[in-house]
């Protein structure tokens, strides 16, 4: 049962957008103690489920994969002027043939991918 409890506590800190998980964690603090929760939050006892740790870890994507996704998105949205050839170090100017909202969405996606690095 220790693995399940520590996994919930560990996940609650990393999935703050799920308020119910935080509520469960708070109940576990009352049930156990703050020291136990602190140790579980950092997985000091190595009891948190390894699959959960792997799924919640921040991993950066390979630049080649990011470029491929961006090229696919640009092709799907019929965007002209999309150049990747390696790292996207300079801002890319887009000329969209159809919908302005699609362009805004593509720009947001590009910004999000750049922030991952």
pLDDT, one tens digit per residue, over 68-100 is 888 888 888 876 655 555 444 444 555 545 555
Distance CA 80, CA 23 (A): 48
**Apex 116 CA angle, 104 and 53, nearest 5:** 130
Please check the confidence at residue 37 and state whether its pLDDT lies above 80. Answer: yes
Q: What angle do CA 2, 6, 21 make, to 5 degrees?
A: 130
∠ Cα 17 21 22 (to 5°): 80
**What pLDDT was estimated at residue 117?**
57
Cβ contacts of 88 within 8 Å, gap of 6 or more: 66, 67, 70, 110, 114
The reported pLDDT for the residue numbered 87 is 45
Mean pLDDT on 45-56: 89
């Amino acid at each position: 049962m220790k693995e399940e409890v520590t996994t919930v506590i560990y996940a609650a800190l990393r999935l703050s957008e799920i308020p119910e998980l935080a509520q469960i964690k708070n109940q576990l603090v009352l049930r156990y103690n703050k020291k136990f929760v602190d140790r579980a939050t950092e997985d000091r006892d190595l009891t948190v489920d390894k699959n959960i740790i792997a799924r919640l870890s921040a991993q950066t994507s390979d630049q080649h994969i990011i470029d491929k996704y961006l090229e696919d998105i640009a092709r799907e949205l019929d965007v002209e002027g999309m150049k990747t050839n390696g790292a996207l170090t300079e801002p890319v100017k887009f000329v969209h043939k159809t919908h302005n909202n699609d362009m805004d969405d593509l720009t947001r996606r590009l910004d999000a991918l750049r922030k991952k690095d």
